[in-house]
Structure 1
Amino acid sequence: MNFKNRVASLLVLLVLITVPSLAYAQESAEPASNPTSSVNDLIRILESEEARGALLDRLKAEAAAQESGEASDANSTIARQVAEQTRAAAEQIVDGAEAVWSGLAALVVMFSDPSLVDFAEFRTLVINVILVGAGLFASYLVLRLLAHPLQRSLDRRAAGRNWSIRTVLVLVATIIDILTVALAWGAGYLIALQLVGGRTGQMDINQTLLLNAFLVVEMIKVAMRLFLQARFPNLRVLPISDLTAAYWYFWLARVVSLIGYTFMFVAPILASNVSEAAAQAARVLVMLTALVIGIVVILQNRERVRHVLSSRAATGRTDFLSRSGALLAGIWHLLAIAYLIAIFGVWLVNPTDALPFMMAATLKSGVAVVVGGLVIAFIGRFANVGLRLPDDVRARLPALEARLKAFVPRVMQIIRTVVTIGVIIAIAQSWGLIDFLGWLSSEAGQRVSGSALAALVILLLGFVAYLAMSSWVEYRLNPQFGSIPTSREKTLLSLFQNAFTIALVVLVSMLALAQIGVNIAPLLAGAGVLGLAIGFGAQKLVQDIITGVFIQLENVMNEGDVVSLGSLSGVVERLTIRSVSIRSLDGTLHLIPFSSVDTVSNMMKGFSYHVAEIGVAYRENIDEVKEAMQEAFDLLMQSEWRDMIIDKLDMHGVTAFADSAVMVRARIKTVPGGHWATGRAYNEFIKQVFDRRGIEIPFPHVTLYMGEDKAGGAPPLRVRNDAGSKEDASEKPALITDPD
């Protein structure tokens, strides 16, 4: 409680205590009206120990009540503040309506009962005001006519000039306009002093009100003509059409004249000659007329403004301004009408201080909207243009830019939402709908805002930690910088990244919830119970994880290895703690849980072998075949594949006698995974050397053997042709004999 409130409360308590004390002392029936008696009674109370104790007890009780009221006000919620403001506004609107009705009744009574008004004096007042007004506006009209050729000349000179010359000409035209108003105002003062004032040389206060109202209203119109010059388009600041400028100047000039002359001239005259209620009635009627004019203007421009607001979205743009414009296109007129009605209601609630309040609230709201719009536009432009990292950073961390581009739009959306909420709160604070700053300075507000800020900081630090860890892993896996990572390093770093991400998400979530007041102890206990339930209910999952852990510890396979898991073979693309993903030769991706893996066959562990099983005809010389195979290997060592070979040719010799060929085997040792490409190249060289040497690589065939006697003779083979007649077949038998 401030000092003024404490003094007022003390005085009220003194009066409350003094009145019963005076009654008890059998003083006069109206002691409060006698200050001397009240002071004497107060002295007697202070001199009496019993009365002084009673006074102190009542003062302490009142102080405690006041402090509790202050505490309740400080801890009141925003919803309660809004309810209280709404109730107060409704009560003041009712009081204002009653005042308007009283003013209209006073006017009716004044004109119905001539005895209440001195009509002779009233007639003199009206005549003097009419004379001054006629001279004032006639002088202004003449000066406008004289200034019109000068402004027309300036308008012609401004056509086609650059912005600097046009600015000078616009300033000159505005100065001429201001001088016109000032000279007319001075002429009005001369008329009021010399002609109407007569011999006394004095002017009435009512004439002064008219002159001051004229000066203020016309100066506002000068500022309006600076932006909405309807007659001289080249001197117009705003780039709008002549029809639009004339339309808006017509309505704005009439609203300004109506409100200005009523508030600065008509209402003060009614307040001084009739009653304050009559003046308030005139003000309310004029403001209601201005409200109706504003609503009519809004409805007349409904479609035009709707088209302008939706034009950006109609071109296919999807930024925040385009979406906001498309959203407001259909409801802007309702918001504008509601805004005008709100201004009228605020003014009706507090007519004395409403105009400065409305101007300040409107200015603050406009600043909040402009600042919020600029922030949102900047954020939208930043998000749409995209993030571009330096070339050296992109070379070291190729995936960082893509990762930031994936996260930045989400962060920007959150920032846009926060800025929008801030603008709404600032507008509500400007119009007195809520006391957000007061709530923010209270204990509850500081606690809530501090918790929210701490939670946001934790989330931000968690994101930075994730970004740092991912960038470090990416840098370690980048073969262009530092040492080339092995398959083992790729696998372990990938597993570490996954595990760190999960742990970080859980930790950051728990800390953020704890900061905003959520008790995380039940969550931790529930997580333990849930983990135990999963352990009992999902035995297959537990088996997957345990098997995967041992496979990783034993380093059986890593990313990039070619493995065979049961009936499936392919390249390991991804390893997790639970499963392995392999891609087969035809491009199919297989996800295999570790619990279903019985055997892992890694074809790229340490080194590889290409086993060459060459089949040659039985008639070939084996030594010559070995020489040809060695020659093919020598040609392979002279080719581009020599870097994959890490040892000389390992010749095994004849390994099997097949049905159609003799199998001769050799083996080539290569780097891990190089045996497939090396084997294909070696087969090509084998074919070339065997063709040049005439070594036959037989295809599958069957040899028909008829047998032979001890002397080596073979019986003839009789072949019977059944294609012709029996006679022809018997007469011309087909006889096959041994060539020897």
Structure 2
Amino acid sequence: MLPISRAPSCRALFAALMILMSGLFAGMVPSAQAQTAPATTAAPHITAEQARQLASVLNDETRRKEFLTTLQNLTQAQQGGTQGANGPSKLKPDGLGAEILGSATDWSRLASAQAHSLLRTVVDVRAIGPWWRHMRNSEADRKESLKLLLRALGLAFVSTGLFYALRFLLRGPRGRIEAMARIKGRAALIKGEDDRQAAEEAVEREAASTPSEATGESEEGQDKERLSRLRHQGALARLMLVLKRLPYSLLCLILDSLPVLVVPFIALLIIVIDPDADESTTGLLRALSITALIAGGLIVAVRTVLAPRRPWLRLALLSDSAAVFLFDWTRLLVITTGISAAALETLDDCGLPDRVVEALLKIVTLVLHLMVAVMIMRSRPRVMRLCDRGDRRGIGANALHLFGRVWWVVALFFDMGLWLVWAAEIHHGYAAIWKLFLRSAAALVLMRFVSIILYGVLERVFRTAPGWVALSEDTQTRFSRYYAPAQRVTSVVIVVLTVLALASAWGAPVKALFGVGGLGYRLISSSMTVLIALFLGVLVWEATNLTLERYARKVGALEGGAARLARVRTLQPMIRIVLLVLLVAVIGLTILSEIGVNVAPLLAGASIFGVALGFGSQKLVQDFINGIFLLMENALTVGDAVTLNGTYGVVEHLSLRTVHVRANDGSMNIFPFSSLGQIINYNRDFARAIIIAETGYETDTDDVVAAINEITAEMRADERFGTLIIDDFQMWGVDALNQTSVTVRGTLPTTTAGRWPVQREFYRRMKKTFEAHGIHLPYPTRFVEVKGLGPVPQKEETAERSPGQNTQEAGA
């Protein structure tokens, strides 16, 4: 069996059945226009001279071509005038879309006319107005109708009161009967359970005493025989249980029937004591009594068989919920039918026109059929649980499961179909509906086999396709994602084929529709073209994505490929967006062209829009193109420390046209790619920490170089900075002789991330090391001379000053 999830939706089948049934029965009903149309129409007439001129034109090749050109021009002019009146047409006159719209318009117009005709035959209440005016003007008829209504209402009210009063009086005897039936039923259940256990023990003893080797039968055959014996024993026990309940049920039936007899008794009493009784009142009361007897008798009979909420009286071996469900719906249907029949009988005797009574009868019958449809829908879970009992296996269980899935469609079909046949008064309608049902069943069975084959082939293709060619794991994963869409497309195809099969079974001209040049043929051809375009688009999309992913993994596996991988990841969304836009444009134009939309104006408009966009957004295009080339050249990557147009910061985001840089002060700077005149990237390959040492003239530069090398050795030995320094200190030497200092310059190669940390730490250690080695770091000194002070001993001060200070003073 095919899984339920793969089977065509029963709701879709039901919808197709209802649509086809309504269309067919609407077609069976003669339309009002056809009935009112004249029997004959005036035939076109031409003279003999006109016929000879037409023959001469057709025989001459040149004149025939001119004639055909004239006809084509007239046709185009007429179409243009129609389009001008209804608005500009965007579909080709001979395109698929125009043909589908034309066919849909014709079908909807025909269906509307036929439905209107059917509705008018069902709801024909136009005669109520004349009848009401007649009753208002005729006092005798009005009095006669009022007399009948008063008798009918009196019968209804008095009978209802006596009915419930008599039921109340009979509650005591009925309760005692139920109590006895309950006691007997409990004893019968205990005896039945004992008989079942005894039968099981007997079967087990027989199985133990006669092994399968002695009888020559298999164990499976013996098990079947035992189950058959137990089943027969259970059936006999149930029959005996029903027979024991039957006397009490019959007594309850008699007691329940007594209140129903109140209605004819009250009707007879009214006829006897009525001084104005005549044939019309007698006939009405007799008809109402018969209706009440039939309806009440049916309800009493159903209550006796089902005995809702009283299993000890139930003759039908059903569960409590099933018995209550069936009784409630049966009582509702019978009461509705009885009240409607009584009301229509009363209105008919009051002089209501027969057409109106017939229309009201059809409406009431439609309401009853709709109630039956609701009952069928609400009983679906119960029937499904009954058909899916766990102890059943084999072909029978599968058949029951299929019945549980589709029985309600058949029931609704016959429910509404029978009403349509009766209401529309279709000749030989009941024979036609049975014929249609058998054809539909055959079509559904055939489509069931087709669905099994299609779903099975689909599942096998997706399961075995990885073995046909060597597919990577990613390719297999992407391939498996399309199983669900393929399954949905297959479901749509199956539903369409099912509708076509049902249409063919119901006599629709499917062959002519799908012939060469027909609407169905063009529709299938266009659908195949669209599906192929979609398949190629998906293939290109997936191939591009797989290629990008493989290239990204290949780049990431290389040594130092993190930066290149980041560049590839940055370019991937852009490539996908461009590819998606191209695919959507091409496939969209293909679909519109197949539908019949004239794509030439769209292409021309797109070209004009593209030219206008190119002139109006040159800067935007320049941003996009510059960004693509900068990213391809690996000029920028997210996380790089850069200086763009004099602004230093870290790249946080790259879009199609802008780069976002976070500056040291926290501000976000956004630069369009076209505005970047200079790009300084500090995160490429390696960096250099520039070290500048300024010492006094009295310091030996060799001591400075030794101190710098010492600092470099210490930092390379440090765990925090050893991984950041990639080489020894590169001494450039004495770089400048200043007025008061000597400049020694060199660089320390580092990683791109270690430039600033290494430089700051180097300067910190350099200060401490110079102080420890007595290397003087010069700083500017200023002397202020104040006049009027006494002389200062120059000899002692000169002795206390160092040579370097004297030099600085002289320089100052």
Instruction: Give the TM-score of the pair, scaled to structure 1.
Output: 0.46
If asked which structure has higher relative contact order (CA below 8 Å, sep 6+), I would say: 2
